[in-house]
Amino acid sequence: MTSNVLLEVKDLTRFYKTARKSLFTPPDAIYPVNKINFKLTKLRNLGIAGESGSGKTTLAKIISQIEKQDEGQIFFEGRDISKMDKKGWWDFRKAVQFIFQDPYESINPKKTVFQTLVEPLKIYKIGDHQEQSQRVENMLNEVGLLPEVMQKFSHQLSGGQRQRVAIARALMLEPKLVIADEPVSALDVSVQAQILNLLLELQVKLGITYIVISHDLAVLRHFCDDLIIYYAGNIVEKTRAKDLFSTKNIQHPYSAMLLQAAFFDSLSISENTHVKTDEAANEPATDDLLLQKFAGCNFYHRCPIRSDLCAKSNPLLVTTNEKSSPSPSPSAVACHHPQKVTELIKTKHRA
Amino acid sequence: MSSDNVLEVKGLTISLLLGGSYFEVVRDVSFSIAKGESIGILGESGCGKSLTGASLLRVLPHPFAKVTKGEIFFKGEPLHLMGHKEFNHKFRWREASMIFQESSAAINPVVKIGKQFAGVLKRVQADFTKAKYLLKECGLPDGDRILNSYPHELSGGMKQRVMIAMSLAGNPDLLVADEPTTATDATVQTQILDLLLEIQAKRGMSIIFISHDFRLIKKMCRYVHVMYCGKIVETQLTDELLKQPQHHYTKGLIDSRLSLKVAPKSRLTSIKGVVPPIEKWHKGCSFFERCEFSSPKCKLEEPPCVTTSDKARLACWFPVKR
């Protein structure tokens, strides 16, 4: 294992038991995270794309250990975090921070901005009172807020300012890894650009690695080096961002669909394979897919290029270009017909 | 004024009650829609675009917001003079209806879809069998099951489809769509937009599409009105606007988009600052503080909304140079 791997995840699984159908049947379980493996390289941002209910947020919560996994291991800087002692645990908590989707809900409304930002320092007993306030002031400056906001409560701030406070809070302890769950989806377009700029600036300055979760490939394209496309608890495609967006190297039909959804003004899925509206409405609910009971490919019901083979066996994640890729996370795809996918997407001709 | 306009709005002004006094949040807004046409209203949150849409169907939050000035004509009839009873009987659902941002908030969570549907159909004196037909039109062929389920049993996309189906109950000529896809997934979003376009083509409806996303507006609308701080600052054909925005606000919005042309990790251009709170809207150009090209004149005098060509309008003293 090379030393520039920051995080490695092995066979990570998390399941939730569902309500019993009757008293005598054992409860079913849904698998929002189903045997996930990946590596994260230092300073290479990882994007996780998928739709709501696919389990991508659960995955992020497990990586940051807000929730515990049922099976599998997480290695942070080469150390298995389940075998850490108390000191190692505290270090891990300090090094991995989380930015939540909705700054309206993730910031305590009863605390002032200063109290919010100083809390992590107090927990970790860093510096005396004076140094703490100095650090808060520096951080506010760093994220582009004026010192006046220190005594304000979160309801007195705008959405963009609140997200800046949330970012500042995550960065107070100088983390190595920041997990951002839909960091800009609750914000206006012009503010979105400001926040993305800020996050990238801070990465250069402070040497942070990001894991960004989003359903919007436009955001991920801008932000990430590596991408994981996530569908119903499974990774369906791992790729380098620039490979995916050159559109010639798309290998999974779901990636093509997401890509078209994000850039529908400039790309289109060719008409004859487009999923019809009637069919789309008959898709099984995501929860049923998470049961992982269907023998075939999870994406079968929505796939424009499905075949009989897809209904019978679930394709495994196969590495595709181990030799040519310099990154420790080579491209991989879980599809029986990856060669057909490229034909799906075409660039719209502009007048 | 041409006679084939479905709706004409003239000088609409809406006031909002804040801390005991009223502030004008929508100021002197005028626009019109021809039959079968769709227009977009674009702007950031807090620009008054949703209130404008809500005022057309009289669903403003009473008494916090009220229309203080302005005339609305629907097919030549003065809508602003219509009494509430008549409005409810003749206009709502039958002539115009609205779909909202969050389907889960717009549908009653403890009443089965069928019962809610029945309520709407009774209002327009239609038969209940129409419900299944409408659901099918909106891409839900499994009508019986849908009507017999509670909202929480449906997915977000399905709820949105149900809401669209309901809005079509009285065969309206005008649909006000207030950010109908903001709360849905990216892949569902395309489906919903396609559905709306399909229905529009079939029924010849007019659609007012309210959104903050240029990508959606481009797909849906021929004309777009850009709103800022309660005023329309620019009106233009969508394609023209994207090619050559003239107001600095519009240009800022277009430039801050993430498109395939922007190099990854490059610095995005963004409009500095945020929409000022209502109390701080001042007399001159409302975009003054965030504009890079502002001059003292912008602060003192409000730029009038000038018609530049056929249907295009612009409110700026120093427009972007061509």
ipTM of this complex prediction, to 2 decimal places: 0.81
Question: Do A167 and A179 meet the contact criterion of CB atoms below 8 Å apart?
Answer: no
* A44: contact with B, CB 8 A cutoff: no
Q: Which residue is associated with the tokens 């107070």?
A: A172
Please, what is the end-to-end C-alpha distance for chain A in angstroms? 51
Q: Average pLDDT of A317-330?
A: 64
pLDDT digits (tens), chain B, 322 positions: 455 789 999 999 999 888 888 889 999 999 999 999 999 999 888 888 889 999 999 988 888 888 999 999 999 889 889 998 999 888 989 999 999 887 778 889 999 999 999 999 998 888 899 999 999 888 888 888 899 999 988 888 888 889 999 999 989 999 999 988 877 777 788 888 889 999 999 999 999 999 988 888 988 999 999 999 999 999 999 989 988 899 999 998 888 888 777 888 888 888 887 788 888 787 788 888 888 888 888 888 888 888 888 778 999 998 887 6
- H helices of chain B, in order, are 49-56, 84-86, 103-106, 113-123, 129-137, 143-147, 156-167, 186-203, 214-220, 238-243, 248-255, 296-300
The number of residues in chain B equals: 322
pLDDT of residue B2: 52
Whether the CB of A193 is below 8 Å from some CB of chain B: the reply is: yes
DSSP result, B82-143: --HHHIIIIIBTTTEEEE-S-HHHHS-TTS-HHHHHHHHHHHTT--THHHHHHHHHTT---H
Starting at the earlier edge strand, list the strands of the sheet with B77-78: B21-34, B5-18, B65-74, B77-78
Confidence of residue A349 (pLDDT cuts 50, 70, 90): very low
Q: Is the peptide bond before B63 cis (omega within 30 degrees of 0)?
A: yes
Assess whether pLDDT exceeds 60 at residue A350.
Answer: no
Q: What per-residue confidence (pLDDT) applies to B249?
A: 92
C-beta atoms of B268 and A216 within 8 A: no
Q: Residues 247 to 276 of A: which have CB under 8 A from any B CB?
A: 257-258, 260-267
pLDDT reported for residue A323? 53
% of chain B exceeding 90 in pLDDT: 38
Q: How far apart are CA A155 and CA A13, in angstroms?
A: 38
The pLDDT value given to residue A240: 86
- Answer yes or no: is pLDDT of A131 > 90: yes
Q: Across the interface, do B185 and A52 touch by the CB < 8 Å criterion? A: yes
Question: What are the chain A neighbours of B268 within 8 Å (beta carbons)?
Answer: 193, 196-197, 222
Are the Cβ atoms of A52 and B156 closer than 8 angstroms?
A: yes
Phi, psi for A19 (deg, rounded to 5) = -65, 145
Task: Output the pLDDT for position B300.
Answer: 87
Nearest to B177 by CA among B97, B58, B265: B97
B156 interfacial to chain A (CB closer than 8 Å) = yes
pLDDT tens for A54-93 read 888 889 999 989 889 999 999 998 889 888 899 999 999 9
Q: Which among B260, B53, B249 is positioned nearest to A267, based on CA atoms?
A: B260
Contacts 24+ apart (CB under 8 A), B181-186: B181/B216, B182/B101, B182/B102, B182/B211, B183/B101, B183/B102, B183/B103, B183/B104, B183/B156, B184/B156, B184/B157, B184/B160, B185/A51, B185/A52, B185/A215, B185/B156, B185/B157, B186/A51, B186/A215, B186/A216, B186/A217, B186/A258, B186/A261, B186/A262
Confidence of residue A351 (pLDDT cuts 50, 70, 90): very low
Rounded to 5 degrees, what are φ and ψ at A134?
A: -65, -45
| pLDDT for B165 | 92
Cα three-residue angle B318-B321-B322, rounded to 5 degrees: 145
pTM score: 0.84
Please tell me if residue B268 touches chain A, with a CB cutoff of 8 Å: yes
Rounded percentage of chain A residues whose pLDDT exceeds 70: 87
Is B186–A262 a contact, with Cβ atoms under 8 angstroms apart? yes
Q: How far apart are CA A236 and CA A253, in angstroms?
A: 9
